[in-house]
Structures are given as structure tokens and as C-alpha cells.
Chains A and B, each alone.
With several copies, the nearest count.
Chain A
Amino acid sequence: MKLIFEKSIPGRDGFSLPSDLFEEIEIDKDIPEDFLDKNKKNLVEVSEVDVIRHFTKLSKLNYGVDDGLYPLGSCTMKYNPRINEKMASLGQFTHAHPLASIKMIQGSLEVMYQLNLLLCEITGMDQYTMAPASGAHGELTGNLIMRQYFVDHGEKRTKMLIPDSAHGTNPASAAMAGFEVIEIKSTSNGTVDLDALQNAMDEHTVGLMLTNPNTVGLYDGGIESIERIIHQKGGLLYYDGANLNASLGIMRPGDVGFDVVHLNLHKTFSTPHGGGGPGAGVIGVKERLIPYLPTPIIDYNANEKYFYLKDNGEKSIGMVRSFWGNFAVLVKTYAWILSLGPEYLYQASKTSIINANYVLKKLKKYYKPAYDQYCGHECTLTGREYKKYNIKTLHIAKRLMDYGIHPPTIYFPHFEPYAEETIMIEPPESESKENLDEFINVMIQISQEAESNPEILLSAPHNTPIGKTDDVLAVTKPILTYDDELRSIEQEK
């Protein structure tokens, strides 16, 4: 498809100006010539109609949750309710300036305050910060909180334990927080090796970052021992809540003993992923860690009955971003929780667990499961049987597209013994049995194609707007802007 730049025509425009342009002000008298650009920045010249058609066409090259099943493991691609979008787009919210006086933003503050209470009840934590913009941002925030806690307590702890099954953001976040990452191997059951954990945990170790159910979709049955091992050595337990969609109304990380929790509101709580964000990765902590939370915290003055932004004091890690949080995302979360209430929050998790186990059961004959046990809200299969036909899970994924289904996660988990050959399927509660049955049938069909006609998988996808992409070329001959492209065309001449 053409780039917007390739549609540019000199003299065309897509904006409107008021009639009064303050012509009498001569700006070059006020701003020294040295600072002003003599030339207009060369961007593009297109009309509103051009823009509408360009982006309408671009949109149709995308596949969203509204287009069908999107069973990306570890991503919780669930339905994003429309009413939430509407609530977040109310003018009093969208036009609220973050530095307006608190009496002008009482409504917004109340939303954040109430959301904190709801999330605390759902997870068993004592206080949330709404600041972090994503899961990883929350992880960094959480790690810095833990770091600060130990600094404050005069303890020197430098290592962070992380299971090999963890999402890549966990080690990356711990590293950003200055910790040495110690990888804890998983057992062949896919869960934390308790002996390895016991051996690794010591007084120089901050604690453990755990996802539960973990990133292969398994509840860790050893959770009690894990908790004991970490806390016995004075460590802190971090809960990566990206998989909370298996736990709503079933288990609360706070009850289990987790000290720090991050939630991916853009997963469990139905806010849209937006093609890569924005989301929100709020962090909840137990009482003793509250002083370290980023500043400010939303609080309520019960005497004078108003909400306000409270400076979190000297022990706070400070700020992790500008302003107070991804407010628009928080409104959507709030709306979703109120729409489901306790009963349907539980139903959401229950349904997603049943969905995942149903898919696991129906497909295990065709794609050997990574672990032979019931799963949480997602299941991990493998494509090992098809290696002999030269088929990798990548090919299975691409072939799924031909059937109009978005592929599950395949690049992850990446740890032995299943590296590269896993297929992580997460069918959240918003997927119906019929959709799952269709997916199952297609997956079975593909397994048969892998044997009978591997070529059709190897050359897939065939029915998508573009064919398989050459990822290597994008690195060896980098073209990162339209001007790069123009230069490369110039060079080829």
C-alpha cells in the first residue's frame, strides 16, 4: 500500500485555520532568527478525504479482537466493551488538565480512589499506585519499591530470582532496577524447582518474581513452599499479574503472601491493547511497602470530604512518569469491574479456565502438550511431531491466518526443552464454545496438512493482505523512514 507521503500533492491541505492569524505580530522580532527554521518542515500535503481513505484502508490491513479469535497466550485478548470506551471519552474526563486544582478534578480523583479499593479487594493488597503505564513499567516500579525497602532497612540485597519460564520483561525490569538476575529452572512439570529456589535464596537476594498461573499456564502447586522459602530469608515476593485472568474470585495473591503485585489492566481488565498500548500496569503492595510507592497517591480527606493527591513522603521511590497515570485506561477498568461485579468476575476466570482446558483436551492428540496436566487460563501445546516434515510452529501459526484466525503465541515460552516449538493458546472468557470448536477443527486440519501437504504450511500465509515478511532484510538493509527509502531508491539508480 502507498505511504501517505506518496499521496502528497503540493498545495493540498487537510487542516483549517481561523480567519484571524494575528498578522500584526512579527514573531521574528520576538524569537531570534537563530532559533527559527527558515523553511517549513517538509511533512506531507494531503486533504481530509485522502487521510480518511488512507487510514480506513490501513485499518483494514489489521486484525483485531472484533475480527475473531485472538488466542495469544499470555496476552488475554478479550473483548473490549464499548461502554468502557464511551465512559473514558466523556469530555469532563478527556479535557481535564493534570495540573488543574484538585477541586476541579474531584470526579477523576474519585474514580482513581474507588478503583484502588476495588483492586485491593480483588487481589488482597493494601494500596495501589496508578502510575505505571504498562506491565513492564509496573515491574520496574515494583522492583524499585523492593530495592528502596531494603535500602531503607539497611539491607544490601542485589539478586533477584526469576523462573526460566518468566516473561522477558521480568529479568529486564529487575536488571533496570540494578539487580543481578538469577534464573531458577523449572521442573519437568513446568513449575518452580523448589530445591533450586531454596538453594538460590539467601540474605543477599531481594526475592522472587513469580507469575501464577505461570507463563505456560500452570498454577504452581508449590506456592506455599515458595512463599515460605522467600519470606524465611527475609525476601519479598513479587506477583506478575499478567495472568490474573485465571484467578478472579478464585485466589488472591495478597492472601498467598505476595508483597508486590502488578496488574495488566489491558489484559485481565478488558482495556484494549491498542496495537501495543496504551495499557496500565498498576502496582499494589502490602501495608509495609506503602511508604515506598511512587508519589503521589490518591487519598481522601474524610473530614473535609475531598479527594487529593498526597505526596508519598521521603521514602517514596519518587516519580516513574509525568503526571498521575494512564487515566483513560483506569476509567475503562473501573467500568469493567462494576459491570461484572463479584459473580461475573468469578465467571470470567472460571470460563477462561474451562475454555483453555477444553482446547487442551481436544488438541492434545494432535499437538503434544508441553505438560500433561490441567492448565489455568491458557494451555501450552507443542508442534514437535511435525518437525520431521520441516514444519515449525511458526508455519502452523502462519497457516492459521489463512483460515481467518489470529495465531496463538509461538515465540514464547522459549526455555528448554520446548524452545521454539511451543504454542501457547489463551482463549479468554469472551470466546464461545463454537469459536473454540472452529479453532480446534482448523488446528486439526492443519496438523493433517502438515503431514500430507507441508508445502502449503511452509509457504503460508496465502490469504492475508501481505505474504510472509522477510525479517532479516529489515535488519541488513534498514529502512526506518520514508527518507531512508527515498535514499535507498536513489542509491539503486
Chain B
Amino acid sequence: MRYIPSTEKQQVEMLKDIGVSCFEDLIQNVPKKFRLDKPLNLPPALSELELEEKITNLAKKNTDFYSTKPLIGAGAYRHFIPEAQKSLLQREEFWTCYTPYQPELSQGTLQSMFEFQSFIARLTKMDVIVPSIFDGASATAEAALMALRLTHRNKIIISKLIHPHYLKTIYTYLAPHHIEIIELPCQDGLTQMKQLEQILDESTAALIVQSPNFLGGIENLSQFSEMVHQKKALMIDIIAESMSLGILKAPGDLGVDIVAGNVQSFGMDLNLGGPYNAFLATKKQYIRQIPGRIAGETKDARGNRAFVMTFRAREQDIRREKATSNMCTNHNLNVVAANIYLSLMGTEGIYQYALLNAKMAHYLEKKLLKSGKFEKIFNYPYFNEFLIQYKGEIEELNQILSNHHFLPPLAVYPLIPEKKYENALLFAVTEIFNRNELDHITSILS
């Protein structure tokens, strides 16, 4: 078998060298009654050609997503990824290696982590960045746990307008911990601020708000921060569409204490939802309570700059049940992916792409409103995703768009079953579209 180099003859030799007469002697600690006495009931081995045909045929049972541009985002955005990034990621040194426990053989990974941390620090204006939590949802939950550890309080206030999966994940993660969770409702597409004043108190560990929120609205984070800080609670900002950082104010400038950010937009394919990657960002003073791996700069024995994983005393392999998290394997290759992506895009690219996203989304919204078939729901500021009311049948709209090779926008009602959302559609627009296509979309829907 091409993946198993040792030959039968070699195995016989090795068994002899070991000093046993047969393989079974080596597994005598597996009780006989549990040893399988017949092969697993699985399909026989396929040749590479057969395998390729089989899986390619399965892939073809999907829509041809390459040619079907999505008008849906909702936490997973199709952005353009330069081939230079994809090609570099294929270097085996990046993807066939382990977690960089041995820095002398892992500077590629470690420096990449450090550079990514530096990028995110500049994008968010935060001090300390954990480059890889699995995704936005788990990062959000980890941020909540971190706030609980930091404040020793037991109430978490959450905006209802964070991504529904993130919300569900927080509940799952917090379930064992006897935490009071209060949800802030939506008002005009934004998290209601009024109610917050009544709920915020000295037992509040943190307020969690997503901006742009799940419905696309840009939240007034600085005002939230101010209110939260009055009660010495922590302000947590969730970012699901990291491209927005290109033109929006950085959370660090808005008083935010912890940021959990999904960076799928920075060079990761949609992949049916995973693997993506998220960062956690915080202020220097909170570093010892942050979960996950961090790269830091140091010197090597030759006096040169070198990178290592640092502040390891927080981690499970050292602290076990007292660790700040159980995280071990994370999404580090996606850190490299995002790092390469951000390097290519740079100052100007991230700005221009973000600007273009916003402009195109607003262009489409205006066009759709003009068509007469759509109505505004909220009067909120948004980035590249907006909620809009469709006057026709949503089923029909889906059909039309699919026929024209567009992936329809998200119908939010199934996720937020409130009457006012019955015909509400969440459109996401990124730079992968062009004017022709946006005009075409408008015209087929009019």
C-alpha cells in the first residue's frame, strides 16, 4: 500500500528483532474478547483514480458554487482570494508540520503567528492578540468565559443581534457555570440601549455586542463601552465580517476590552462553514486570563531575533484543569492564510476592498428600493450587509436568483421567527460582484 512503506518481509524481520513470534504477541493487553476477529465491514480500498472519481461525483451533487455568487453572508463571506496566497499555502512546510513546540524548527509558523498578531493589533487597536480560536462562535464563548474569570462576576448581557450560532454556542459553553444570561433586544436593527441601563449592575461581568451585527447594523460601541465601564464591567465586541475593519473605527478606539473576531473574510474559502478562524484581542493587563496560543518575540542562543509560543503557563498542557481553556489544536494554518492575505492586501488593499464592499452594498440596496419590489425595514448604518423587505414571494425570488446562478440572500425568519421578519432578506455584497451583475440582479427581481 503506497502510504505504508514497510514490506511484509521487513515486518517479519522487525518482529524477529523485537523477539516475538507474531504480531498478536504485541497486543496481548487487548483482551481477546475485544479483539476483532474479522475485518471491519467497510468498502474495499479504492485506487486513487477510483477515489477521485467517486468524490468528484459527490462534489458534483452540489450546485456549481464556483459560478454561483452568493448574495448571502450571515457569518460566512465569499471574498476574492489572490492565487498567490493559495499557492503559498500549499508549501508543505506550512501544512504538514505540528504545533510549533520546537521553535528551532518552526520559525515559519511562529513568525507568521506574530505577524498576524501585529496585523490584528493594528486593525483593532488592541494590545494582545490570540491568533487562533476555532471560529467566531467559540471565540465569543471564550471571550465570555474570560470576562467571567477577570471580573469574578456572574452575569453576562448579550445583544440578541449577535450571530444566532454564536449566541447558541455561548449558551452551550456557559450552561455548566450557573451564569445569568440576559439578552438585549433589537430596536431598528440595532441593539437596544435603553433597557441596558436597567440591567447593568455590579454583578455584570460583560456586555457582548456584535458590530456590524447579525442584521448588518453598525452598533454604537463607544456609547455601550461607556455605560459598561461605569459598572466596571467589560465590553466585548464581536466581529463576524472582519473586512469591515478596513473602514470602520477600530474597537480599541471605542473603549472595547475584548474583541472576538471571525477572520474568515481574510483569505478563507466558505467550505460549508469550516475551517475558519477567529482571533481574541484584549488589553495587556488581561493577558493572563486569555485562552489560546500566543507567539512572542525573544532571542536565540546566537543573539538573533526569534519567536516562541509564550505565556504558556495559561495552557492546558501545563495547567491542566486550571488552564484558561482546553484549547490545544486550533486553526493555525488559517492564521498563515490570513497573514498572507493581509500582506498582499496591505494598508491600501484592505481599505479599498472594504470601501468597495460598502459602496456596492449600498448601490444594490438603492437599486432594489428603486425597483419598487423592496422596502426598507430599518434606517440603520450598515457595512456590506443589509436587511430589506421583499414584497413578493421569497420562494419565487430564490428560484429566480438560482436560475440566474446567484445564491439567494438569507431569509432571516427561520432564524429569528418574528412577524416583522417574515419577508425580510439579509443581502451581503462583496467585491466579487460587479456593476453588471448587481444591475442584472435588480432587473431579474423587478
Contact = CB atoms under 8 A, between A and B. Distances in A.
A352 B318 CA distance: 28
A394 to B, nearest CB: 10
Given A3-B115, A62-B93, A481-B114, 11 more contacts: A18-B47, A51-B343, A55-B336, A59-B91, A82-B82, A122-B40, A133-B274, A274-B97, A358-B17, A361-B19, A481-B127
Interface stretch (B151-159, B197-205, B228-236, B295-303): B295-303
A397 B107 contact: no
A340 B277 CA distance: 31
A329 to B, nearest CB: 7
Nearest 4 A/B pairs, CB to CB: A323-B273, A178-B176, A276-B332, A341-B45
Nearest to A143: B176
Contacts of A52: 84, 88, 92
A79 B3 contact: yes
A322 interface: yes
Contacts of A345: 40, 42
Given A62-B108, A327-B272, A412-B317, A250 B27 contact: yes
B169 A276 contact: no
A313 interface: no
Interface in A22-79: 22, 25, 27, 30-32, 34-37, 40-52, 54-56, 58-67, 70, 72, 75, 77-79
A358 B84 CA distance: 29
A87 interface: yes
A424 to B, nearest CB: 12
Contacts of B123: 41, 43
Contacts of A122: 40, 42
A37 B64 CA distance: 38
A181 interface: yes
Contact of A106 (B14, B61, B134): B61
Contacts of A51: 84, 88, 340, 343-344
B351 interface: yes
A421 interface: no
Interface stretch (A228-236, A283-291, A383-391, A460-468): A460-468
A159 B358 CA distance: 51
A108 interface: yes
Interface in B36-62: 36, 39-52, 54-56, 58-62
A64 B93 contact: yes
A351 to B, nearest CB: 6
A340 B250 contact: no
B96 A273 contact: yes
A459 B331 CA distance: 33
B112 interface: yes
Interface string B174-217: 01110000000000000000000000000000000000000000
Given A32-B381, A351-B4, A97 B39 contact: no
B275 A16 contact: no
A345 B1 CA distance: 10
Contacts, number: 759
B372 interface: no
Which of B18, B36, B136, B271 counts the most A-chain CB atoms under 10 A from its CB? B271
B363 interface: yes
A144 B65 contact: no
Interface string B327-357: 1111111101001101111111111110110
B137 interface: yes
Given A62-B108, A322-B273, A474 B95 contact: no
Interface in A257-288: 264, 266, 270, 272-279, 281
B173 interface: yes
A37 B325 contact: no
Contact of B435 (A17, A22, A107, A459): A22
A199 interface: no
Contacts of A450: none
Contacts of A49: 3, 5
B423 interface: no
B321 A181 contact: yes
Interface string B1-43: 1111111111101110111100101111111011110011111
10 contacts: A44-B343, A45-B346, A62-B93, A94-B270, A95-B66, A133-B274, A135-B328, A137-B327, A338-B46, A432-B10
Nearest to A70: B98
A95 B269 contact: yes
B403 interface: no
Given A277-B330, A353-B26, A16 B48 contact: yes
Contacts of B272: 93, 96-98, 105, 108, 323-324, 327
A65 B97 contact: yes
Given A43-B346, A62-B107, A251 B75 contact: no
Interface residues of B, number: 211
Interface in A97-132: 97-101, 104-108, 110-111, 118, 121-122
A104 B58 CA distance: 12
B132 A429 contact: no
B226 interface: no
Contacts of A468: 104, 300-301
Which of B29, B362, B434 counts the most A-chain CB atoms under 10 A from its CB? B29
B2 A15 contact: yes
A134 B96 CA distance: 16
A71 B145 CA distance: 35
A1 to B, nearest CB: 7
B440 interface: no
B430 interface: no
Interface in A312-349: 317-329, 331, 334-335, 337-348
B271 A279 contact: no
A358 B123 CA distance: 37
A492 interface: no
B165 A322 contact: yes
A327 B104 contact: no
Contacts of B165: 319, 321-323
Nearest to A331: B55
A335 B55 contact: yes
A62 B52 contact: no
A378 interface: no
B39 A343 contact: yes
B51 A175 contact: no
B63 interface: yes
Which of B17, B48, B119, B307 counts the most A-chain CB atoms under 10 A from its CB? B48
Contacts of B295: 480
B393 interface: no
Contact of B14 (A45, A77, A354): A354
Contacts of B407: 97, 100, 104
